[in-house]
Amino acid sequence: MVKKSTKQNKIKTVLFIDDEPMWLEAVRLSLMDEKFKIITANDGETALKKLHQKKPDLIMSDVRMPNMNGFDLFLKVKSDPKFKNVPYVFMSSIDDYDAKKTAKELGANGYIEKPFDSEQIKNVIVDFLSHLKSEQFGK
């Protein structure tokens, strides 16, 4: 049996940012059986600190948060060369054309409307992480 390289076996990390503990817990519970690590933050400042502790493979952020909204957080994250290529998906209960347009104009990789179910969020994460794997290691 041929052992795969450790890079291919690397567990992917998702940073999930939301100021509502209910969403953080729901995502953590729905994804606990998956083969990726979920790191959570309840605000932008905490997210920035956690980014520097462990570089995620995907960032999912709420739009509306106190002190620093998701758009401002996105701009800070993307201004750092270390994180500029990390995919970033916005989540929000705002079913708002302007918010979606802003996310797209900023260069976000996606926008998910809340409420979402566990299968939907799992599919989004798996799709992004699978895409990363195929790009990183060839198709």
Q: What is the pLDDT of residue 130?
A: 77
Whether residue 8 is predicted with pLDDT greater than 70 in this model: the reply is no
Percent share of the chain, pLDDT over 70: 86
Specify which of 2-16, 76-90, 91-105, 119-133 reaches the highest per-range mean pLDDT. Answer: 76-90
Cis peptide, bond prior to residue 115, ω within 30 of zero: yes
State the CATH class of domain 13-137: alpha beta
Check if the beta carbon of residue 19 is closer than 8 Å to that of residue 66.
Answer: yes
Give the mean pLDDT of the chain: 82
Q: Where are the beta strands (DSSP E) in the chain?
A: 12-17, 36-41, 58-62, 88-92, 110-113
